[in-house]
Structure 1
Amino acid sequence: MTNLFSVFDPSTNIFNLSINWLSTFLGLLMVPSMYWFIPSRYSILWNSIIINLHKEFKTLLGNSGHPGSTLMFISIFSMILFNNVMGLFPYIFTSSSHLVMTLSLALPLWISFMLYGWINNTTHMFAHLVPQGTPNILMPFMVCIESISNIIRSGTLSVRLAANMIAGHLLLTLLGNTGPGMSYMLLLLLIFTQIALLVLESAVAIIQSYVFAVLSTLYSSEVN
Structure 2
Amino acid sequence: MMTNLFSIFDPSSIFFTSLNWLSTFLGILMIPTMYWLMPSRYHIFWNNILSILHKEFKVLMPLGSSGSTFIFISSFSMILFNNFMGLFPYIFTSTSHLTLTLSLALPLWLCFMLFGWINNTQHMFAHLVPQGTPSILMPFMVCIETISNVIRPGTLAVRLTANMIAGHLLLTLLGNTGSSMSLILLNVLIITQIALLILESAVAIIQSYVFAVLSTLYSSEVN
**TM-score for the superposition, normalised by structure 2:** 0.95
- Structure 1 residues 140, 64: CA separation in 2 closer, same or farther (over 3 Å shift)? farther
Separation in structure 2 between the aligned mates of residue 44 and residue 17 of structure 1, nearest angstrom? 37
Q: For 1:130 and 1:12, locate their aligned partners in 2 and report how far apart those are by CA, in whole Å.
A: 46
Give secondary structure in 2 for the equivalent of 1:110.
helix
Q: Report SS of the residue matched to 1:62.
A: coil
The equivalent residue for 1:119 is 118
Letter in 2 for 1:23: S
CA distance in 2, matches of 1:133, 1:64: 29
For residues 139-177 of structure 1, the C-alpha deviation after alignment (integer angstroms, 9 at most, x for no partner) is 111111100000000000000000000000000000000
Matches within 5 A, 1:131-142: 131-142=130-141
Give the conservation status (yes or no) of the 8 Å contact 1:64–1:221. no
Deviation at 1:45, TM superposition (A): 1.5
Alignment-derived partner of residue 75 in structure 1: 74
- Gaps spanning 5+ residues in structure 1: where? none
Give per-residue Cα distances to partners, 1:58-106, cap 9 Å, x unaligned: 11112152x5211100000000000001100000100000000000000
Matched with 1:22 is: 22
Which residue number corresponds to residue 7 of structure 1?
Answer: 8
Tell me how far 1:137 sits from its aligned partner: 1.5
CA-CA distance at 1:12 after TM superposition: 6.4
Runs of 4+ that moved beyond 4 A: none
Find the aligned partners of 2:16 and 2:144 in 1 and give their Cα distance. Answer: 46
How many residue pairs get aligned? The number is: 221
Paired with 1:127 and 1:101, the residues of 2 have a C-alpha distance of 33
Root-mean-square deviation (Å): 1.4
> What whole-Å deviation, never above 9, does each CA across 1:153-211 have from its counterpart, x for those lacking one?
00000000000000000000000000000000000000000000000000000000000
Aligned: 1:216 with 2:221: no
The one-letter code matched in structure 2 to 1:34 is Y
Mapping 1:34-183, distance limit 5 Å: 34-39=35-40, 41-65=41-65, 67-183=66-182
* Structure 2 counterpart SS, 1:68: helix
Post-superposition Cα deviations, 1:47-66, rounded to whole Å, max 9, x if no partner, equal 1100000001111112152x
Superposed CA deviations along residues 10-54 of structure 1, whole A, max 9, x for unmatched, are 1164x7641000000011112333224241x32222111000000
> Bigger shift: 134-143 or 197-206?
134-143
| SS of the residue 1:92 aligns to | coil
**What one-letter code is carried by the residue in structure 2 that aligns with 1:125?**
M
Letter in 1 for 2:36: Y
Point out the more displaced range, 149-158 or 132-141: 132-141
Alpha-carbon distance in structure 1 between the residues aligned to 2:119 and 2:17: 43
Q: Deviations over 1:122-148 (max 9, x none)?
A: 000000000111111111111111000
TM-score by length of 1: 0.95
Matching residue's letter, 1:37? M
